[in-house]
A and B are shown apart, each in its own frame.
Chain A
């Protein structure tokens, strides 16, 4: 290192415009550089990044061809949040030491921090060109980019790692996961299966590979293979909740709720505290018609996650299916509180209110007024309002509301029926007959077109 620094100092010439002219001898410059470098490191270790940057800047003036000074300066500036200055310093370090991959790695990090994707790509292309046979560099970049949610670039670097000779099971499973995430399912399956069949791969890595293969098979519609691989993933790593959730989801999609419940119960026995498992289990219990158990699980989930809208929706569904309308309304009102923009929550509440005996028509109208504020052109609002007006003998208002509903959705049969009844009540027999004939006509047509 000492020899390197001496070499750098010997060949240096001062170019930086913000450096004071120096009359130091070579020996004095070396001593000065070492002192500044020591001070900079000390400041950095004490989290005094601006001070560290100042020392490194001075060091760069003393030795303007020292990659070490510029690399240190870039690190200190980046730590201080001065990304633009950090980038400039790393670019200089990279130009001074083109055979070293560290400045390029740091340039990727700084450009990502600056959300400058084009510059990030530029650096990655340079890295590919200059270090084509460095699997560790590309695998490391892939991890960093994946952590930064730049999945396309992470995939690209993962592919480069493979091209440059990375053969480890861990790298391959990371590649498979990325391929699956970006929708390259056939590739993901191929890569994951190679890991599954690798006799030297650790069991935990194989479990991840089985999970990825399962997810990819599911995405291309090969359900049976998906189930087999996810079961294998569970067998290999029984404490990984994702495999259980993915397998349950496959059953759920096929409306095989009993199977989903069985898998999720197994998972819950191992990971009692998992909120994701509880919610999925509660949902599937309700869909399987096991309302009481479903309610227990969902309420247990809500105790820890009171803002989870989906749980209220499912509870409302459970109460609706068991004719407990008051509880359904309560769940929907809680839903409206935690997620006021939940689609149709007020319409659903109004519908539930209309099933209570006796109906509080004013409360229903108030609920519909709330719904109209959110979605002024929702045909259901006017249909329900028409129903309320008909039931309360506000017949001309019923006609107006139901006509509006028909205007908004002319192929929906229910408002025609209510309108026919309203005309009948108004004594307009011909109009009632015409509208009710249209009801019969619509009933013969396929659903909403």
Chain B
């Protein structure tokens, strides 16, 4: 397998684990069954770092906005806190989160709308993309230089009302591991764009290139790679979170007494609402509707439950979500996909009932 193939196959989340020489970035996730209610407590919030957590101080932290703006600005933390803010409940999911995986969390975020910051800086008419740079840096690939973590996001997404520079998670300032003192937040999109420890925003015009983004090799990861006819590969940048659900209880390989059990889980669909959840007890042959525990809202997840009359024997449980646009979780991974992202197919939970 060539390095290039490896890049395509692996989610960047697991990629870092293969390259310990870069640093020992944090990689934490916790079983979703520990979550009560809708919000993930900060200590159970998943973490996928590419580089070492930077040492950032409130007193010295600054956020610079530059590039194609009329008035480049440098904001202090006090400037952010004293700006008009908005609150939004939103899921963050790692683009490489496994089917049934727990690299996904949901929080009530608070921050300054990115659109306000860009407008105040005098966003140029011809601005097209925005580079978001974190305070963490390192070598993304074996042969790439040491550069800050950065991502490129279209201006159109930055100007949407849900996009923000967030500094609070569940009504507390961000924990260090989640991007203290401030991070980008793009609700509805995979988490890699929600750059942590945000320190610089560079606005680019149509013909401008994001030099560090390319030099670091970041442009080669977080791409959707689909095999096309004639051996071609169609590569597109990941953005919106795909519809997905997961079974939080019981855990895979659980042994349960024959009784009526309440299956529980979560479902989310980026900026869209969840319309239905179904549960299968037989590996996907027959499906029954599950109940949503509350109304589904864009950007956040919804809890679901299903009362399962478990009979003795082995069972393969699956959950399947359908969103308001009719998009449904697939039963299996599309064989044409050659990357390791958007793993939203139904994950099997095997249970033995006695």
A interface residues, Cβ below 8 angstroms from B: 118, 121, 124-125, 128, 152-153, 155-157, 159-160, 162-163, 179, 182-184, 186-187, 190-191, 406-407, 410-411, 416, 438, 441-442, 444-445, 449
> CB-CB < 8 A to B257: which residues of A?
410-411, 416, 438, 441-442
The reply to whether B77 and A159 form a contact with Cβ atoms under 8 Å apart is: yes
> CB-CB < 8 A to B83: which residues of A?
121, 125
Q: In chain B, what residue has the closest Cβ to A440?
A: B354
Task: Say which residue of A156, A183, A441 sits within 8 Å of B78 (CB atoms).
Answer: A156
B144 within 8 A of A: no
> CB-CB < 8 A to A118: which residues of B?
84
Interface string of B164-176 (1 = CB under 8 A from A): 0000000011011
> CB-CB < 8 A to B249: which residues of A?
449
A177 to B78, CA, bound (A): 16
- In this complex, the member of B33, B79, B172, B173 whose beta carbon has the largest number of chain A beta carbons within 10 angstroms is B173
The reply to whether A160 and B78 form a contact with Cβ atoms under 8 Å apart is: yes
- A171 CB to nearest B CB, Å: 12
The reply to whether A449 and B250 form a contact with Cβ atoms under 8 Å apart is: yes
A170 to B78, CA, bound (A): 20
B82 within 8 A of A: yes
Which residues of chain B from 168 to 191 have a CB within 8 Å of any chain A CB? 172-173, 175-176, 180-181
Q: In chain B, what residue has the closest Cβ to A157?
A: B78
Q: In chain B, what residue has the closest Cβ to A154?
A: B81
B261 within 8 A of A: yes
B251 within 8 A of A: yes
The reply to whether B58 and A184 form a contact with Cβ atoms under 8 Å apart is: yes
Task: Say which residue of A184, A410, A416 sits within 8 Å of B180 (CB atoms).
Answer: A184
The reply to whether B260 and A407 form a contact with Cβ atoms under 8 Å apart is: yes
Q: In chain B, what residue has the closest Cβ to A437?
A: B354
B28 within 8 A of A: no
Which residues of chain B from 331 to 354 have a CB within 8 Å of any chain A CB? 354
17 A-B pairs with CB atoms under 8 Å apart are A128-B82, A153-B82, A159-B58, A159-B76, A160-B78, A162-B59, A163-B76, A163-B78, A179-B58, A184-B173, A184-B181, A407-B259, A407-B260, A410-B260, A411-B256, A449-B33, A449-B254
- The total of chain B residues at the interface (CB under 8 A) is 31
Given contacts A162-B59, A442-B257, A449-B33, 10 further A-B pairs with CB under 8 A are A121-B83, A125-B83, A128-B78, A153-B82, A184-B180, A187-B59, A407-B260, A410-B259, A411-B256, A441-B255
The reply to whether B255 and A156 form a contact with Cβ atoms under 8 Å apart is: no
A162 to B78, CA, bound (A): 11
> CB-CB < 8 A to B236: which residues of A?
none
> CB-CB < 8 A to B76: which residues of A?
159-160, 163
A159 to B58, CA, bound (A): 8
A153 to B83, CA, bound (A): 10
Task: Say which residue of B33, B55, B81 sits within 8 Å of A152 (CB atoms).
Answer: B81
A184 to B258, CA, bound (A): 49
The reply to whether B176 and A155 form a contact with Cβ atoms under 8 Å apart is: no
> CB-CB < 8 A to A156: which residues of B?
77-78, 81-82
B18 within 8 A of A: no
- B306 CB to nearest A CB, Å: 14
A449 to B33, CA, bound (A): 8
A416 to B256, CA, bound (A): 13
The reply to whether B57 and A441 form a contact with Cβ atoms under 8 Å apart is: no
Q: A155-B81, A156-B81 are in contact. Are A438 and B354 (CB under 8 A)?
A: yes
The reply to whether B57 and A186 form a contact with Cβ atoms under 8 Å apart is: yes
> CB-CB < 8 A to B354: which residues of A?
438, 441
> CB-CB < 8 A to B82: which residues of A?
121, 124-125, 128, 153, 156
Q: In chain B, what residue has the closest Cβ to A413?
A: B257
- A193 CB to nearest B CB, Å: 13
Q: In chain B, what residue has the closest Cβ to A410?
A: B259
Which residues of chain B from 82 to 97 have a CB within 8 Å of any chain A CB? 82-84
> CB-CB < 8 A to B58: which residues of A?
155, 159, 179, 184, 187
The reply to whether B57 and A190 form a contact with Cβ atoms under 8 Å apart is: yes
Interchain residue pairs A-B with the least CB separation, the first 10? A410-B259, A156-B78, A156-B81, A159-B78, A187-B58, A121-B82, A124-B82, A438-B257, A183-B173, A441-B354
The reply to whether B255 and A445 form a contact with Cβ atoms under 8 Å apart is: yes
A163 to B119, CA, bound (A): 26
Task: Say which residue of A121, A182, A190, A191 sits within 8 Å of B173 (CB atoms).
Answer: A182
Q: In chain A, what residue has the closest Cβ to B33?
A: A449
> CB-CB < 8 A to A445: which residues of B?
255
Interface string of B145-174 (1 = CB under 8 A from A): 000000000000000000000000000110
Q: In chain A, what residue has the closest Cβ to B169?
A: A183
The reply to whether A128 and B79 form a contact with Cβ atoms under 8 Å apart is: yes
> CB-CB < 8 A to B172: which residues of A?
182-183
- B166 CB to nearest A CB, Å: 13
Which residues of chain B from 238 to 267 have a CB within 8 Å of any chain A CB? 249-251, 254-261
> CB-CB < 8 A to A407: which residues of B?
259-260
A27 to B26, CA, bound (A): 76
Q: A406-B259, A407-B260 are in contact. Are A183 and B175 (CB under 8 A)?
A: yes
> CB-CB < 8 A to B259: which residues of A?
406-407, 410
> CB-CB < 8 A to A125: which residues of B?
79, 82-83
The reply to whether A159 and B175 form a contact with Cβ atoms under 8 Å apart is: no
A155 to B76, CA, bound (A): 12
A179 to B81, CA, bound (A): 13
> CB-CB < 8 A to B81: which residues of A?
152-153, 155-156
Which residues of chain B from 274 to 323 have a CB within 8 Å of any chain A CB? none
A160 to B77, CA, bound (A): 9
> CB-CB < 8 A to A186: which residues of B?
55, 57, 176
The reply to whether A159 and B59 form a contact with Cβ atoms under 8 Å apart is: yes
> CB-CB < 8 A to A121: which residues of B?
82-84
> CB-CB < 8 A to A406: which residues of B?
259
A406 to B257, CA, bound (A): 10
Q: In chain A, what residue has the closest Cβ to B77?
A: A159
A156 to B254, CA, bound (A): 50
> CB-CB < 8 A to B180: which residues of A?
184
Interface string of B133-148 (1 = CB under 8 A from A): 0000000000000000
